[in-house]
Structure 1
Amino acid sequence: MSALLAREQDVRPAVPGHAPAGRSAKTSQRSPLDRQRRKLFVPFVMPALLFYVVLFVVPIIAAAWISLHTWAGAGEMEWVGLGNYARLVRNDLFLQSFTNTLLILFIVGAAIFVVAFALTLVLRDMAGKRTARNVLFFPHLINALVFGALAGFAFNPNGLVNSFLRAVGVSDPPLWLARDNLLGLVMAILAWASVGYYTTILMAGVDRIPEYFFEDAALAGASAFQRLRYVILPLTWDVFAVCAVLWTITSVKIFEIVWIFGGTTGVGLPPQEIWTSAVYTYIMAFSGQSIPSYGMASASAMLALLLVAVLIVLLRRVTRREALEF
């Protein structure tokens, strides 16, 4: 019977509007669209691709090449291979800067996501949700340098914070701008400035969940925790994954908020206790060095890029789940 059906299909005459034998109708119908897309590739996609290659790919390749040399920005480059990387892993200042970056990445990131998700759940059913979301998002619009300057003004020994503490009876308020306290202060400022941004993204993810999911869960007798576990988290998991990638990229680039505290040292450079990977890279290349070391700076930048790449791959594996459509 199967052989007879196959023979009948082979001799079936071609019908106008149908795909000929040996070609699927899907392929036949899409081929004009595919040809049109190929025609549009050059005028529309190629300029953006060229822009991306020139401003992103080429600098990365150049930095990787420079990282294998000793170079002061002028003159000949001396090949050292992986020598710059070997020097970095033995450099205490670089290791401290890299550790500070990791602390910001994980500790501040954890604080941001816990607070942002809590605010999302609290504000979900509030009447003034849009106004609250705008207020929370506003700090993200302010440049980090402004936050640093305001923090330096508010937390200096005679600033607003210590003046308030003295007014309420604290006779010996802490020295917030002491070197041992600066990293914690920077992390607190970063968390405060970023919570609103990620709250806005998470709120958008929760708002897109159809209301009937919550109604069905309530009819089934689900508790608030069960609605959180079986409705909200699964349907916003992809939003959490995107936020995690965004924070990973942002945290490795932290620079301005650290740089503004250079005035506390009297030499214009931020205290070494709060240097991040980005600050270390900049100082090695452009500041604080009698002879710039572009090789070391490029090696530091490449290690930061490697860190981001590895973390994003791990995040994608950890957050990989079955896509839920609704």
Structure 2
Amino acid sequence: MTPALVLYAIFLLVPVAATAYISLHKWPGYGPMEWSGLRNYRYMFADPVFQQALKNTMLLLVGAGVATFAVSFGLTMLLRDLTGRSTARSVIFFPNIVPALVLSILWGFLFQADGLVNKILRSVGVHHPPGWLSQEHQYTMILIGLVWINTGFYTTIIMAAVDRIPPYLYEDCLLAGANAWQRFRHVTLPLSWDVIGVCSVLWTINSIKTFEFILAMAGSASGLPSTRTWTMSLYAYATAFASEGVPSFGLAAADSIFTLGLVAVLVVLIRRVMRRDPIQF
């Protein structure tokens, strides 16, 4: 285990310790560091931009997460007995193969003022379609895009868990007159609970560190997106690599340490809440 422990320390423990150290200093990325204690953390929690970024991150974690898993479960139940489900599984997994940068550009093109969506709406008589990418709708469209991207990934994992459930259990449910919801509630959900727990942990980690999709879709070639669309990852990036003003690596490090702590707490809570005795089948 020694080689693995050494690599773990070099590539994870040492960088985390260095980031925590930088978070206690005022440092623009060059020159000597100036000790500031917890000042970066106090400034960060009082910053309205960080508060908005934290709110957006939680909205992404909870709101988009609920939608992603709801659609994933729905697709799983729809495709479970469908002929050609392997092909369908490959199709819905496809967005995860394409880089997020490409998908964000595609999503933006679809919903821009003269994009495909508005052209379809005008063709059916909607002469004044909504401004999908306006400031008030932009983050909502980002959330919908992230649900679209991630649904195939979690559907594929959940379908793999459902595939191992013996078919005779569903046959017994049909003979007993159980409807689709009852089959899902009493068979699918409990017998795939361990896999759902893993998916919940993966979603928590991936959603909190979401970065490139928002940057590419809401930003521009000359600047960052509006602060109304920032997440905590974008907040750290913007403070460390500010296009205007003096960079603040100490503030970015404080945001990173807070993000790491938040992920750790949420993962522990999820594992405790979703802990169940294994079911043998």
The total of aligned residue pairs comes to: 280
Q: 1:205 aligns with which of 161, 164, 174?
A: 161
- Aligned AA for 1:231? V
Corresponding residue number in structure 2 for 1:60: 16
- 1:226 positional shift: 3.6
3-state SS in 2 of match to 1:171? coil
Corresponding residue number in structure 1 for 2:261: 306
Contact 2:19 2:257 in 1 (8 A): yes
Deviation string, structure 1 residues 77-124 (Cα, Å, up to 9, x no partner): 122111111001100001101110110000000000001001111111
Corresponding residue number in structure 2 for 1:154: 110
Corresponding residue number in structure 2 for 1:277: 232
Contact 1:116 1:196 in 2 (8 A): yes
Deviation string, structure 1 residues 281-320 (Cα, Å, up to 9, x no partner): 0111113342110110000011111111111111011101
Cα separation, partners in 2 of 1:166 and 1:214, compared to 1, 3 Å:
closer
Following the alignment from structure 2 to structure 1, what is the Cα–Cα distance between the partners of residues 130 and 186?
A: 45
Deviation string, structure 1 residues 130-185 (Cα, Å, up to 9, x no partner): 11111110111111111111122222212222222222211111111111111001
Corresponding residue number in structure 2 for 1:287: 242
Corresponding residue number in structure 1 for 2:147: 191
Following the alignment from structure 1 to structure 2, what is the Cα–Cα distance between the partners of residues 214 and 57?
A: 47
Q: Which has the larger radius of gyration?
A: 1
Corresponding residue number in structure 1 for 2:85: 129
Corresponding residue number in structure 2 for 1:241: 197
3-state SS in 2 of match to 1:100? helix
CA RMSD for the aligned pairs?
A: 1.6
TM-score (norm 1): 0.82
- 1:128 positional shift: 1.1
Contact 1:108 1:191 in 2 (8 A): yes
Q: Which has the higher contact order (CA 8 A, sep 6+)?
A: 2
User: More deviation in 127-136 or 227-236?
Assistant: 227-236
- 1:222 positional shift: 5.5
- 1:253 positional shift: 0.9
Matched, 1:252 2:176: no
Contact 1:283 1:289 in 2 (8 A): no
Corresponding residue number in structure 2 for 1:116: 72
Following the alignment from structure 2 to structure 1, what is the Cα–Cα distance between the partners of residues 65 and 124?
A: 33
Structure 2 portions without partners, runs of 5+: none
- Aligned AA for 2:155? T
Q: 1:78 aligns with which of 34, 42, 60?
A: 34
Q: 1:142 aligns with which of 92, 98, 102?
A: 98
Contact 2:20 2:254 in 1 (8 A): yes
Following the alignment from structure 2 to structure 1, what is the Cα–Cα distance between the partners of residues 117 and 226?
A: 22
